[in-house]
Structure 1
Amino acid sequence: MSRGFVKESDQEELPIIPPRAPLPAGVINYVTPTGLAALTAELNALEAEKADFPTDHEGEHRRAVAVIDGKLALLRPRISSARVVDPAAQPQEEVRFGARVTLRFGSSGREQTFQIVGVDEANVKEKKIAFTAPIAKAISGLWAGETADFRMGGKAEKLEVVKIRY
């Protein structure tokens, strides 16, 4: 068939939908209450954006709705599989999901505090790391004063749990 008989809209590229943070197969999707609220707010915002998107330009509308539908298709299973863990219900003296942990890095003595959260909540700028992150796995179950061996940048590092808060 001649290219002259192909509609321009049939030649559109499929929109690229950014993936969500990876959740390994078989791993329970733990979230904090704040994390579930953020996921629900994201869902509501996407649904409102889809409902309110102007229909003036058909092609633009179709592409935008396809992107929103793609994001919703990734978000809905995360919400439905979420298992909320209240940090306040965790053992207060032990590093568990939801803990704010202050670590001392043995080689430098530098201290850093972060919170262990769900994969969708993780944000380095906010000092929140996913419970699936290697450093979170290394310190889970430790008490204040205990240490863990951890490889960083190709070298072994001692991590000391200085403080645990929920």
Structure 2
Amino acid sequence: MNKIPLTVVGAEALRAELHQLKTVERQSVIAAIAEARSHGDLSENAEYDAAKERQSFVEGRIAEVEGKLSNAQIIDPTQLDVDGRCVFGATLDLEDLESGDKVTYQIVGDDEADIKKGKISIGSPVARALIGKYAGDVAEVQAPGGIREYEILDVKYI
């Protein structure tokens, strides 16, 4: 399986989720199954069916998170020495040349991406257009509404 790039913060978030799933969610599901079993006949017991379905989801998510962490390539942006180039983990200040709007994005892994927090996926069209460029460069992004141009104002590794 290919390595999955993650920032240090993203890896910590996955570890925290895994801990929550194993210590809280799993125990909660076990208790719900035991409670539903105490009601008798399992063939027509909706609570039991719901608890088993929840257990399946929790165990599946545990396996998924463990798989991602085992294949993770954790990248610490503060340790990068790339001479101001846009790379995975970099935080970029951009200006939309058409509208003049200024935005700040960090290029992160697919699991960490959250546009509301200014984190864009390495696989997104914007990130792909920015990778390898420097402050002062203009990146052309193929967006659904046509080509958009962003000037890179600053590249930070925080």
Same topology, TM > 0.5: yes
Deviation at 1:92, TM superposition (A): 4.9
TM-score normalised over the length of structure 1:
0.79
2:72 to 58, 72, 82: 82
Q: 1:158 and 1:107 mapped to 2: Cα distance?
A: 7
> Which residue does the alignment assign to 2:59?
69
> Which residue does the alignment assign to 1:33?
8
SS at match of 1:160: strand
Which ranges in structure 2 are unaligned for 5 or more consecutive residues? 38-47
- Mapping for residues 120-135 of structure 1, pairs under 5 Å: 120-135=111-126
Q: 1:123 and 1:116 mapped to 2: Cα distance?
A: 10
How many residues are treated as equivalent by the alignment?
141
Higher alpha-carbon deviation: 72-81 or 60-69: 60-69
SS at match of 1:56: helix
Query: 8 Å contact 2:10–2:112 — kept in the other structure?
Result: yes
For 1:100, the aligned partner's letter is T
> Which residue does the alignment assign to 1:145?
136
SS at match of 1:68: helix
* 46 and 92 in structure 1: CA distance in 2 versus 1, 3 angstrom threshold: farther
SS at match of 2:133: coil
For 1:57, the aligned partner's letter is A
SS at match of 2:63: helix
* 154 and 61 in structure 1: CA distance in 2 versus 1, 3 angstrom threshold: closer
* 106 and 119 in structure 1: CA distance in 2 versus 1, 3 angstrom threshold: same
TM-score normalised over the length of structure 2:
0.82
Query: 8 Å contact 1:94–1:143 — kept in the other structure?
Result: yes
Which ranges in structure 1 are unaligned for 5 or more consecutive residues? 1-25
Q: CA RMSD in A?
A: 1.6
The C-alpha deviation readout for 1:116-151, integer Å capped at 9, x for no partner, is 111111111111111111110100111110011112
Q: 2:52 and 2:120 mapped to 1: Cα distance?
A: 36
> Which residue does the alignment assign to 2:152?
161
Q: 1:28 and 1:50 mapped to 2: Cα distance?
A: 28
Q: Which one has the bigger helix percentage?
A: 2
The C-alpha deviation readout for 1:56-76, integer Å capped at 9, x for no partner, is 114143222111012112222
